[in-house]
Amino acid sequence: MRKLLLSTAVAVIPALLLSAALPVRAQNPSGPSSTVCLDPQYIVGTQAVNARTILFRMKNGEVWRNDLARPCPDLVSQSGGFSHVVHNDRICANVQEIEVNATGMVCRLGEFTRVN
């Protein structure tokens, strides 16, 4: 029994680690479309392009663009970046809020689009 569990764990764990490195598409409970969620432990950097756009760079080389739900002028007019509280170990489109560190302005993420 122990050998079976160990061999199953050896086969399953690498697959789980590989799948965790990729952004996750979670089922949208309100309809047939899906919501893109990113695993924050695989984000290597972010860049505020303008008041409506943030780029998320992933460890696997993927780049995801988020088009904020509304303009967030303090995002680019202030230095110091932004922070976010992660719920359920994911950063999800149309749910997650960010806070501009310098001013405390709160802005909501919009849709994620893979750009590469």
Residue 31 has pLDDT above 60, yes or no: no
**26-32 long-range Cβ contacts below 8 angstroms, 24+ apart:** 26/90, 26/92
The answer to whether 95 and 109 have CB atoms below 8 angstroms apart is yes
Evaluated on CA atoms 69, 108, 74, 23, the torsion sign reads negative
The string of pLDDT tens digits covering residues 72-110 is: 999 988 788 889 877 778 999 999 999 999 999 999 999
